Amino acid sequence: MIVCEYRPGLEGIPAAQSSISFVDGQKGLLEYRGIRIEELAEKSTFLETAYLLIWGELPTAEELAAFEDEVRHHRRIKYRIRDMMKSFPESGHPMDALQASAAALGLFYARRDLDNPVYIRDAVVRLLATIPTMVAAFQLMRKGNDPVRPNDDLDYAANFLYMLNEKEPDPLAARIFDVCLILHAEHTMNASTFSARVTASTLTDPYAVVASAVGTLGGPLHGGANEEVIQMLEEIGSVENVRPYIEDKLQQKAKIMGFGHRVYKVKDPRAMILQNLAEKLFAKFGNDKFYDIAQEMERVVEEKLGHKGIYPNVDFYSGLVYRKLGIPTDLFTPIFAIARVAGWLAHWKEQLAENRIFRPTQVYNGRHDIPYTAIDQR
């Protein structure tokens, strides 16, 4: 047995061998299956990228058309899931609603046929197709409205915005949203992917795999950071307040949301693409004062923390884009989940291909040989 030193957060410790994505944190490089993220963001679509991640190669035109068709025809959610969601408290966080709904899907497909490629493909299609419908349905139902049925004439991104806003989106908005999904689809061994792989390694069903990953993504140090970025920009309120706000936070040794990354020590390449997309949106739909605040924040944080390798991460600009698309702040993380399902499923498949159950060890630092004290003597 190899014994290595304990590292909090398992920093630098490989948890799997993977050919799905690659990050060079010093160069600011991200590849999915060897293809640069910038190229995918420019030329691909989310569903094509999901196919690439999950099956390892770009699909042919026929393969892509068949895949898109399958996803399109599985978008509706079962009425029992919808009824269950209706009974969720409207004050609940949409990530909790999504986690419960994804897990509930497993109740309908209890048979685990993990050696069967048809079972695998069905689960992939069903999860990619229904997660956006669940997110949109919860959003409408918590407002007291009925969910909108998916529109088969619209592609993946446009249909989600349609189900959410009850009207067809502007084509630029839909394309930009699709690119956001590409950017968030996969990112090596992050916390939620690790969680997905640990769950997958027990050979449970893919719905439990996705539900556990959704739960992990929700925290403010992971996917939840994009919501906190918007709250922070609102709290700052003006460009003049940026510097005192940051100085105050740093004095309190608090983290600035949307900055820093375990792997990237330069600006996250996804943040650069998102910043560009935000600018396109502002050019078409009008400027946003929060963008000016964000740019000033980037300048001040770089000045104060650049020497530690702290730069904007993916969450810093994604919130600004979603806000401009009219998406409520507490849906930002569920949208991250819609995209990341592709990565989780790719890791689920990869884990199954060479599975060994995760069972790490620990460094015990507790006591030994303590006598049991009777309750009346404590």
> In angstroms, what is the minimal distance from the CB of 351 to ligand CMC?
20
> In angstroms, what is the minimal distance from the CB of 23 to ligand CMC?
11
Smallest CA-to-CA distance from 28 within 271, 190, 256 is with 271
Instruction: Map the footprint of ligand CMC across residues 255-294, applying CB under 6 A.
Output: 255-262
In this chain, which of 136, 314, 331, 346 binds ligand CMC, going by CB under 6 A?
314
* φ, ψ of residue 23 in degrees (nearest 5): -125, 135
Q: In the complex with ligand CMC, which residue's Cβ is closer, 46 or 259?
A: 259
256/324 Cα distance (integer angstroms)? 22
187 is catalytic: no
Q: In the complex with ligand CMC, which residue's Cβ is closer, 169 or 224?
A: 224
Q: In the complex with ligand CMC, which residue's Cβ is closer, 71 or 225?
A: 225
261 is catalytic: yes
Q: Element (H or E) spanning 36, and its range? A: strand 35-36
159/128 Cα distance (integer angstroms)? 13
Catalytic-role residue among 205, 261, 268, 347: 261
The CA-atom distances, in angstroms, between 313 and each of 74, 248, 266, 298 are: 33, 21, 9, 11
239/292 Cα distance (integer angstroms)? 7
Provide long-range contacts, Cβ within 8 A and 24+ apart, for 83-92.
85/134, 85/137, 85/138, 85/141, 86/141, 88/138, 88/141, 88/142, 90/141, 90/142, 90/143, 90/144, 92/142
Q: Which tokens sit at 188?
A: 């090596």
Q: In the complex with ligand CMC, which residue's Cβ is closer, 101 or 193?
A: 193
**Cross-strand bridge partners of residue 36:** 31
- How many chain residues bind ligand CMC (CB under 6 A)? 20
One character per residue 8-27, x = contact with ligand CMC (rule: CB under 6 A): -x------------------
214/143 Cα distance (integer angstroms)? 23
Catalytic-role residue among 205, 268, 315, 347: 315
Q: Which residue is nearest to ligand CMC (CB)?
A: 260
> In angstroms, what is the minimal distance from the CB of 141 to ligand CMC?
27
Should residue 36 be labelled a site residue for ligand CMC when binding is judged by CB under 6 A?
A: no
> In angstroms, what is the minimal distance from the CB of 60 to ligand CMC?
33
Q: In the complex with ligand CMC, which residue's Cβ is closer, 37 or 141?
A: 37
Span of 23-31, 309-317, 319-327, 366-374 interacting with ligand CMC by CB under 6 A = 309-317
Instruction: Map the footprint of ligand CMC across residues 210-239, applying CB under 6 A.
Output: 221-223, 225
Question: Half-sphere exposure of residue 224, counting CA atoms within 13 Å on the CB side?
Answer: 14
Decide: 347 and 20 in contact? Cβ < 8 Å: yes
Should residue 175 be labelled a site residue for ligand CMC when binding is judged by CB under 6 A?
A: no
Q: In the complex with ligand CMC, which residue's Cβ is closer, 164 or 300?
A: 300
Should residue 308 be labelled a site residue for ligand CMC when binding is judged by CB under 6 A?
A: yes
One character per residue 135-174, x = contact with ligand CMC (rule: CB under 6 A): ----------------------------------------
Q: Is the dihedral of CA 57, 352, 199, 110 positive or negative?
A: positive
Q: In the complex with ligand CMC, which residue's Cβ is closer, 228 or 350?
A: 228
The CA-atom distances, in angstroms, between 90 and each of 94, 224, 355 are: 9, 19, 40
> In angstroms, what is the minimal distance from the CB of 67 to ligand CMC?
27
> In angstroms, what is the minimal distance from the CB of 9 to ligand CMC?
6
Decide: 68 and 47 in contact? Cβ < 8 Å: yes
Which residues lie near ligand CMC (CB under 6 A)?
9, 190, 221-223, 225, 255-262, 305, 308, 310, 313-315
Active site residues: 261, 315
